[in-house]
Structure 1
Amino acid sequence: MDKVTWLYTFVALYWAYCIFWGIKSSQQAKTATDYFIAGRQISMWVFVLAATATSFSGWTFMGHPGLVYRDGFQYAYASFYTITIPFTGVLFLKRQWMLGKRFGYVTPGEMLADYFQGDAIRILVVAVALLFSIPYLGVQLGASGFLFNVLTDGAISANVGMWVLSAVVLIYVATGGLRAVAYVDTLQCILLALGIVVTGFIALNAAGGWDNLQQGLAALGKTDIGKWGSTKGYGGGDYNAYLAIPGVIQWTAGLGKETPVGGLWTGVMCLTYMFALMGIQSAPAFTMWSFANNSPKPFAPQQVWASSVGIGFILFFFTAFQGMGAHLLGGNGAVTEAGLALNNILPDLTANKQGGLVPHYFNSIGDEYPCLVGLL
């Protein structure tokens, strides 16, 4: 079978799995507590995997390598968000779990309205949840639709893929509640980690191995080829901006008005970006995740081992292989013209096409490993 047939097969199996858990969970949901927080019976490993998938999803799988490609190692330092995202969980999740267990709270609005003795905070929580969830979900679904479009060689448009996936998500979430979401996200976490690692190995193998990749990047570092040129003294020297942070901070008129010298990702930019992502585990949705656990034991393993260590290790190595390796694999026309490319498995992605980086890696092995493309 070709890669598109394998893709349809695995997608059908995945959607069947989602709908199965939606139906099964709906049969187990007898009360509002069962539906909204799985009867406070989410097990340790289900929470560890599901919460990790919720924290790092399509935007990490496709967006993160693309930005490493576009901006270089200066953005790759933002991979430290694998520490800052769960840090808010360290501060809040166990405390919220204790309150939910003691007072029987089901939603964050209920908890805060009780604490502040007013319904205005309840409305505010709903507004914050909507403002967070709608764009976040839109990013995930949009990424999935784009992936469909590229992997089917345009047979399915990005919009059609996105809307079909949206329908599946609506079915299993609406019918099964949080229990269905938890079991779907458990599988999603495994596929997420596997996909990033395998894609990293695709890039590393295409570059000819670790030594060749290092030598290729060293040769690139001797030039000023790249979107941001060189750092021109910012960060302690005049280095290729793909390989260096352009200083601690730069004072400019603002993004879109004045371009910082050597790139966007100064030390302060990376830090504030990671601070912004701390909102993920302090969002109302994660309050409900905390309520859904039968004990607080899963919180520490998720925050330390699954997120900071596991996903952190994967991002620091394998997304760097994907993003930086792409410059040497045909993804940067200027690098190819300069004779620095090690292979030519990717199209030129320099015209803000970095979002297609991961799908193009998949396509590069479509003829040799069509089954793997369908699985990923």
Structure 2
Amino acid sequence: MTLTAAQIWLIAFGTVYVAATSFWARQCALREAGTRRFLSATGELPAWIVALALAAMSLSAWITLGLPDDVARAGFSGAGLALATIPMALLGVATFKRQWQAGRRFGARSQAQLLAFYYRSRGFAWLSGGLATLFAVAFAAVQLSVLGRLMADLSGGGIAPEPATWLLSLMTFSYVIVGGFYAAGALGALQCVLLGAGIVGLAIAANDLGGGFSAINAALAKLAHDPANAHLFRVSGVVRFVAGADDAGGWTSALVLSTALALAGVQASPIATQLLLSARDDRAIAAGQTWVLAAFFGGLCVFGLVLVGACGMIASSGDAVGDLLVRLGAGSPWFMAAIYFALVAGFQALAAASVITAARGLVRDIFVPDFMPELDGRTANLIGRICVGVLMLASVLLATRAPAAAVSLGALALPFAAQMLPALAGLCWLRWISPPAALVGAAIGLATAALTDSFGLAVMDFVGLHLPWGRWPWTIHSAGWGLAANVATMLVISAITPLRRANQRAATLNELFAGLGASRPAARGVRSMAWSAALAWAFLGVGPGLVFGNFALGDAGGGLDAWLLGMPPLWAWCLAMWALGVILVWLIAYKLELATSPGVDIVAVDRGPAGRPKTRGLRVDHLEALLWTLSGAGALITAMAWIFGH
């Protein structure tokens, strides 16, 4: 069989990419030989590598592939999602430095250990481990499925979607199983560079194939002149009181805000904390969140990815990235192959870190402390490697055998991760949040997020309980509903429960942060102005004020002469909000010193969360309790389904 030019270049770039990742994974494995740190790299990764890896993980292929398609289908109201990099960066600026400092003081190696130790609750270890598993299996499966189908399209059918999906999974598995967490983190920096280059390449290709920026805007103006397309160039309102967002007829500002919170949830995930705690120091947090995530990737999203989506809108294509790459492959197959594997690199930045974090959570944070406290490190690492293989096998099987289930289940990962925000806020800032309030609030938030999303609604239908709302009721994303229930529960329980269980450790953190975070006079002078600016930006950028973008910079339907910046007014508004958002992140990160490093060594003052029960051998009683709980839950669901006729 004669290979086409596109197939040859895909094979060539794929071979080079696999060789590079395998080489560096091997180097990382040799560096870590004998350390028994396959499941973690605490304090070993250079800070700049962690900063780049965090940025790549935050974008991944989820936004890179999804944002242009949202713009192509829903219009420039979807462009508001490109501003999500600003809330992501603000969240990182507000919590990352204090998480790292608390981890050093308490000797924590993961989010599970950090929260379980601070709140004195094993529930957080199980919650964090389960959340990491959801990312490693379902969230990764969605991206695997999309990238596998895209490879099949780009190869002209030379590779079927299912083998392509298995191939991509094997590429990730090959370097994770060799290099462990150190390789996942170190390669994350390389993948960050590749992802950025890939987005730049997509924007260049879209601009070239669209005839240039002026021609694209002229075509958009012609499209906007038709009243039937008016909804593509405006936000449809602040909120719509409908059963589900699918009935709203377009994006509202409430949906943009709540979806931005969901996307920011990746910064609160166990994967982000694991990477953060792997850094040698906290010196790159400010630069990583301000210049890499907010400025560089934020600019690429709000201009480059929206440009790709605009070209898809003009072509009436719901698959903007896929169609663009297919067209590019016909004339420049090498460029197409390079962009495709840059997108693969973005996927692997999150997939590799999530699978190793999930394996660590299941083995080190759950199985060892709760079921086999005396397990030695070598055996734990062996079980961890097996766990990595099982998780990746589950992900690829879900992607190939049940893609619809992967989409509905994977969609829960980000809103679920957002439910960790109140607990992290309690750790970093709000000492009055009691341990029961943090844990119960997170549990209620998870349940609420599930019941306002597709997967939870499908489960309720299965057991015969038909809820009177649809996905994302009142055009509010499930992350927003979950956070509302989470915070309300946390406030009520904190008001009625004592803080004795966390007082000692809260006092330790208060002393630590007070000693390291003494503000300079200049910082005190701008504090109130900075937080007021943050609220104003949230209102205008991703909140109700986004509707001003419909008309503030011109009349969308008035043609090019009515567009003040020569581009659709709502798109121009988003660009302006991005520029202001970068200034805001810089102000809070540097002037308020929330992300700058104090340059002081932190000494652990406690034995930390690594302490284990003194029981020897396998905890059969705990294992039996877990099996009985799972069996009872399964029996209850089966009985309810049978009773209601399913």
What is aligned with 1:375?
Answer: 338
SS at match of 2:231: coil
1:203 aligns with 2:189: no
Structure 2 CA distance for partners of 1:249 and 1:117, relative to 1, 3 Å: closer
Give distance in 2, aligned partners of 1:101 and 1:212.
Answer: 54
Give distance in 2, aligned partners of 1:223 and 1:311.
Answer: 33
Structure 2 CA distance for partners of 1:56 and 1:223, relative to 1, 3 Å: same
The residue correspondences of 1:253-264 to structure 2 (distance < 5 A) are 253-256=243-246, 259-260=247-248, 263-264=249-250
What is aligned with 1:282?
Answer: 268
> Post-superposition shift, 1:112?
2.2
Encode CA deviations 1:296-331: one digit per residue, 9 max, x unaligned: 111111111111111111111111211112233xx2
Give distance in 2, aligned partners of 1:46 and 1:296.
Answer: 12
| 1:64 paired residue among 56, 63, 67 | 67
Give distance in 1, aligned partners of 2:310 and 2:49.
Answer: 34
| 2:311 paired residue among 319, 322, 325 | 325
What is aligned with 2:227?
Answer: 224
| 2:57 paired residue among 49, 54, 57 | 54
Q: Tell me which moved more, 52-61 or 103-112.
A: 103-112
SS at match of 2:87: helix
Structure 2 CA distance for partners of 1:14 and 1:102, relative to 1, 3 Å: same
Unpaired runs of at least 5, structure 1:
227-239, 333-348
> Post-superposition shift, 1:224?
3.1
> Post-superposition shift, 1:115?
1.9
1:212 aligns with 2:219: no
- 1:34–1:40: 8 Å Cα contact kept in structure 2? no
> Post-superposition shift, 1:171?
2.4
Tell me the amino acid that sits aligned with residue 163 of structure 1.
Answer: W
What is aligned with 1:21?
Answer: 24
What is aligned with 2:294?
Answer: 308
Tell me the amino acid that sits aligned with residue 114 of structure 2.
Answer: M
Structure 2 CA distance for partners of 1:173 and 1:250, relative to 1, 3 Å: same
What is aligned with 1:44?
Answer: 47
Tell me the amino acid that sits aligned with residue 16 of structure 1.
Answer: A
- 2:67–2:81: 8 Å Cα contact kept in structure 1? no
Tell me the amino acid that sits aligned with residue 63 of structure 1.
Answer: G
1:241 aligns with 2:244: no
1:250 aligns with 2:240: yes
- 2:151–2:159: 8 Å Cα contact kept in structure 1? yes
| 1:362 paired residue among 285, 308, 325 | 325
Encode CA deviations 1:145-189: one digit per residue, 9 max, x unaligned: 122111111111222111111122122112212221123222222
Give distance in 1, aligned partners of 2:35 and 2:281.
Answer: 20
Encode CA deviations 1:243-283: one digit per residue, 9 max, x unaligned: 11111111112235xx22xx331111100110112210111
Tell me the amino acid that sits aligned with residue 217 of structure 1.
Answer: L
Give distance in 2, aligned partners of 1:32 and 1:247.
Answer: 56
Encode CA deviations 1:131-156: one digit per residue, 9 max, x unaligned: 34322212232232122111111111
Q: Tell me which moved more, 277-286 or 97-106.
A: 97-106
> Post-superposition shift, 1:76?
0.5
Tell me the amino acid that sits aligned with residue 158 of structure 1.
Answer: P
Quote the sequence identity (%). 28
SS at match of 2:198: helix
Give distance in 2, aligned partners of 1:187 and 1:145.
Answer: 22
RMSD of aligned C-alpha atoms? 1.9
1:150 aligns with 2:159: no
Q: Which has the higher contact order (CA 8 A, sep 6+)?
A: 1
- 1:79–1:315: 8 Å Cα contact kept in structure 2? yes
Encode CA deviations 1:71-108: one digit per residue, 9 max, x unaligned: 11000111111111233222222112112222322122
* TM-score, normalised with respect to structure 2: 0.50
> Post-superposition shift, 1:9?
0.7
* TM-score, normalised with respect to structure 1: 0.84
What is aligned with 1:291?
Answer: 277
Give distance in 2, aligned partners of 1:35 and 1:98.
Answer: 23
What is aligned with 2:194?
Answer: 191
Give distance in 1, aligned partners of 2:42 and 2:32.
Answer: 8
The residue correspondences of 1:91-106 to structure 2 (distance < 5 A) are 91-106=94-109
What is aligned with 2:127?
Answer: 124
- 1:33–1:40: 8 Å Cα contact kept in structure 2? no
Give distance in 2, aligned partners of 1:298 and 1:90.
Answer: 11
What is aligned with 1:9?
Answer: 12
Give distance in 2, aligned partners of 1:278 and 1:172.
Answer: 28
> Post-superposition shift, 1:242?
0.9
SS at match of 1:294: coil
Give distance in 2, aligned partners of 1:184 and 1:140.
Answer: 19
- 1:74–1:265: 8 Å Cα contact kept in structure 2? yes
| 1:113 paired residue among 103, 106, 116 | 116
What is aligned with 1:232?
Answer: none
- 1:83–1:308: 8 Å Cα contact kept in structure 2? yes
Give distance in 1, aligned partners of 2:325 and 2:131.
Answer: 36
Structure 2 CA distance for partners of 1:273 and 1:31, relative to 1, 3 Å: farther
What is aligned with 1:335?
Answer: none
- 1:250–1:266: 8 Å Cα contact kept in structure 2? yes
Higher helix share: 2
Give distance in 1, aligned partners of 2:210 and 2:21.
Answer: 37
Give distance in 2, aligned partners of 1:118 and 1:358.
Answer: 45
Give distance in 1, aligned partners of 2:266 and 2:75.
Answer: 25
Give distance in 1, aligned partners of 2:34 and 2:114.
Answer: 18
Q: Tell me which moved more, 83-92 or 49-58.
A: 83-92
Give distance in 2, aligned partners of 1:176 and 1:278.
Answer: 28
Tell me the amino acid that sits aligned with residue 238 of structure 2.
Answer: V
